[in-house]
Amino acid sequence: MPQSSQFRLLAQRRFAPFFGAQALGAFNDNVYKNVLVILATYQAAQYTSMAPALLTNVAAGLFILPYVLFSGMAGQLADRFDKADVLKIVKAAEILIMALAAFGLAARSIEILLFALFLMGTHSTFFAPAKYGLLPEVLGETELVGGNALVETGTFLAILLGMLAAGLLAEDGRTNVITTTLLGVAVAGFLVSLTIPRIGAAAPSLRIDWNPWTSSWANIQAARESRAVFLSILGISWFWFYGALVLAQLPLFAKDVLGGSERVVTLMLVTFCAGIGIGSLLCERLSGRKVEIGLVPFGSIGLTVFAVDLYFAIPDAPAGVNLSAMQFVAQPGAWRVLMDLGLIGMFGGFFIVPLYALVQQRSRREVMSRVIGANNILNAVFMVVAAGVAAIALELGLTIPELLLLTGLLNALVAVYIYGLVPEFLLRFIAWLLVHFIYRLQRRGIENIPGEGAALLICNHVGFADALVISAACPRPIRFIMESSIFKIPVLSAIFRGMKAIPVAPAKVDREVYERAFQTVAKELRAGELVCIFPEGRLTPDGEIGEFRSGMMRILEETQVPVIPLALSGLWDSMFSRKYNAVWRRWPRRFWPKITLKAGTPIPPEKASLQELRNAVVALRGAEP
């Protein structure tokens, strides 16, 4: 099957009906939510005496409260039963909820409208574990990032269109048009869901715990099986804290700070959501169709930089009152405000798509939906806290621009904390930068590296950046064996310790380190991991491939695993090699030079010899360009 584009999934039955059903659901959610918020902001007196600022944050809190209460049960149900069946039942319930919302709009009852909003939150709570849990079951390894990107793009495109529709419907004000739209979309979503193929239950013998607290705790425990998964969920939850806080303030930000009308609110929301969609779609291209967590730090940088810039882009005083969208964009600085909102959204896409893909990739199928349920619980807690923080901050006198600035600064602190806990994210970012902005990396034969199971990778050793280049090219984590003296170099020590590199020393220098290295390698290979060794044992002094040392053969004697030969070329003339001894001569000779990593066919351990393995690497590399 061609791998040229993620959009091919939209023509396949395993993905298209599910995509359509979830997009229609997101559209309906946002038509209803935003009609309610806009009416509460601009026509509050007709519905309630509650202050618009308070009502906006109460509505946001009510929508996400079910995620806290019911996500435990939702995750278990999606694992216990066929996820396609769960999605169909949830879509049928949406029709009934929209009928209740239609009654609330006709009666102008804020109580009924808020209750329907709570039920829509409940609907989304039970939809999400089946939605995200289904993706890794119907998509291949190289499709996971693209599929998640499409889902996030489709979701935010639906949000965008829902916001546009909500603005038009709220401005029109005719209840019958609003209710017809809500009910019609709900019915359409249900009909589309009926064509989602069944895939079977992941854990058919699972006993459902109907207690919201104990079931939620069980889901969180399932998520904690993998530290990387759990910390990724915390990262996703932080993004929803950030996003919920920013989005909840946009109506009042547009009205009171910028002097805009309902159309300006819609324009700003559209810009933000379009940015997320663009960022999500770019993830597949930037990640090379693998789960590239190096994009996560890149995303977090943008979330802070453009939130801070948004604060400084805000005018000292509104340019008018009730400005139309065209009047607003004609004001000085308006385009900078919109640019910041769009870029916040785009970098948010870079941040969240790899995290979702990593959670799906590294969770067991039997507990996948429960892990997603745990994610929803923590997302909801963070979003409820965001609503509370916003309400308290505004009550204490903080202005909306100051609140947005505080959110951007907090994001920087949270990012530093997360990457301190999981250096893998930051290291992947460094590797990603290296092969996208310093070099042009060509990958050849990477499919020879197994998608699962143990293997020993061997490669020529050209420069200090070799491990980072290989790591960036490989879709799986790798444990590198490195000379222990490297761990004494300050910056490199931090990088390679973060990569969990295995230090080794010559037996005559440090016998204990030597033996411990082989024990660690054997343990990793028996656990089904990838281990990479540079058999020359040192950086090449002349650009040629030196003789291979015998330590590699001891590894194969103790652990019978296939050997994957690798060859790097194009790095000898780089600043990371030993071609130039003087520091001032190590600056790059060419702009964005091309480098190549080739992977050869696996060599069975029983057929491996030092000379044969060296010949394989030499043949792969060919002449050094």
List, for residues 540-554, the tens digit of each pLDDT value.
887 788 888 888 888
Q: Beta strands 455-459 and 563-569: pairing type? A: parallel
Q: What is the CATH number of domain 6-421?
A: 1.20.1250.20
Query: Do 603 and 616 meet the contact criterion of CB atoms below 8 Å apart?
Result: yes
Answer yes or no: is pLDDT of 2 > 70.
no
Closest CA to 71 of 226, 244, 220: 220
Q: In this model, does residue 232 exceed pLDDT 90?
A: no
DSSP E strands, 142-252: none
Q: Which residue has the higher pLDDT, 315 or 560?
A: 560
pLDDT band at 265 (very low <50, low <70, confident <90, very high): confident
CA angle centred on 58, ends 52 and 59, rounded to 5°: 90
Order of strands across the sheet with 502-504?
A: 440-444, 594-599, 563-569, 455-459, 530-533, 478-483, 502-504
Lowest mean pLDDT among 488-502, 503-517, 575-589: 575-589
Residue pair 496/465 in contact (Cβ under 8 Å)? The answer is no
Give yes or no for a contact between 251 and 56, defined as CB atoms under 8 angstroms apart. Answer: yes
Q: What is the predicted pLDDT for the residue at 51?
A: 65
**Burial (CB count within 10 angstroms: exposed 0-12, middle 13-18, buried 19+), residue 466:** buried
Supply the Cα-derived Rg of the chain in whole angstroms: 27
Length of the chain: 625
> How many other C-beta atoms lie within 10 A of the C-beta of residue 490?
6
CB within 8 Å of 317: residues ≥ 6 apart: none
Over range 454-463, report the average pLDDT. Answer: 89
Q: What is the mean pLDDT of residues 463-476?
A: 81
Tell me the CA distances in angstroms from 488 to 484, 505, 602, one per residue in order.
8, 13, 34
C-alpha triplet 363, 366, 371: angle, nearest 5°? 45
- Output the six-digit token pair for 484: 């222990």
What's the confidence (pLDDT) of residue 584? 47
More confident residue, 435 or 158: 158
- In angstroms, rounded to a whole number, what is the distance separating the alpha carbons of residues 129 and 83? 9
- Is residue 271 within 8 A of residue 338, CB to CB? The reply is yes
- CATH 3.40.1130.10 domain range(s) in the chain: 435-621
Mean pLDDT of the chain: 82
**pLDDT given for residue 276 in this prediction:** 86
Query: Measured between alpha carbons, how far is residue 540 from residues 509, 534, 544, 564 in Å?
Result: 21, 11, 6, 20
Q: Is the pLDDT of residue 398 over 70?
A: yes
Q: Could you tell me the two tokens for 511?
A: 């016998």
**Residue 363 CB burial class (10 angstroms; 0-12, 13-18, ≥19):** buried
Phi and psi, residue 349, nearest 5°? -65, -45
In sequence order, the 6+-apart residues with CB closer than 8 A to the CB of 508 are none
CATH 1.20.1250.20 occupies which residues in the chain? 6-421
Residue 481 binned pLDDT confidence (cut-offs 50, 70, 90): confident
Phi, psi angles (nearest 5°) of residue 93: -65, -30
Q: How many CA atoms lie within 13 A of 340 on its CB side?
A: 19
Nearest to 35, CA basis, from 178, 177, 161: 178
Q: Would you identify the CATH topology of the domain 435-621? A: Glycerol-3-phosphate (1)-acyltransferase (3.40.1130)
pLDDT digits (tens, 9 = 90+) for 576-603: 666 666 544 555 555 667 888 899 999 9
Measured CA distances, 101 to 106, 167, 170, 330 (Å): 9, 17, 14, 37
Per mean pLDDT, which of 52-61, 267-276, 418-427, 516-525 is the most reliable?
516-525
Q: Beta strand 502-504 with 478-483: parallel, antiparallel or unpaired?
A: parallel
How many angstroms separate the CA atoms of 621 and 21, rounded? 49
